[in-house]
Amino acid sequence: MHVEVIINGGVTLVIAPKTPLEEEALKQLMKQKNEIIEVRNGVSLLNKTLPAGIIIGQHLTTSKSDEKDA
């Protein structure tokens, strides 16, 4: 994936696929409801450590109030 940051009165993160598999992954990402999680103190994901950053992933409904918002 190629990532580009545009700062022009706001911040825009552009993610561009480099392979057909990455293209399909982005298509699937767009089809689901997502949430953004900020990582400040490190997190381990799939045997990798991410010291800081953001994670964009599927929003998982955890309560009845979340279901009403969907």
- pLDDT of amino acid 60: 85
Band (pLDDT 50/70/90 cuts) for residue 25 is very high
Q: Which residue has the tokens 């953004």?
A: 36
pLDDT at 67: 52
pLDDT for res 45: 86
**Structural domain tally of the chain?**
2
40 and 69, same domain (yes or no): yes
Higher pLDDT, 65 or 52: 52
What is the DSSP-derived secondary structure letter of residue 59?
P
* SS3 category, 23: helix
Range of the domain at 60: 34-70
What's the average model confidence in pLDDT over 50-62? 89
As to burial, measured by CB atoms within 10 angstroms (0-12 exposed, 13-18 middle, 19+ buried), residue 17 is middle
Please compute the mean of the pLDDT values over residues 49-65 and round it to a whole number: 84
Q: Compute the distance between CA of residue 55 and CA of residue 27 in angstroms, rounded to an integer.
A: 17
Query: Would you say 17 and 30 are in contact if contact means Cβ atoms under 8 Å apart?
Result: no
pTM passes above 0.75: no
Q: Say whether both 6 and 24 belong to one domain.
A: yes
Specify whether 42 is located in the same domain as 69.
Answer: yes
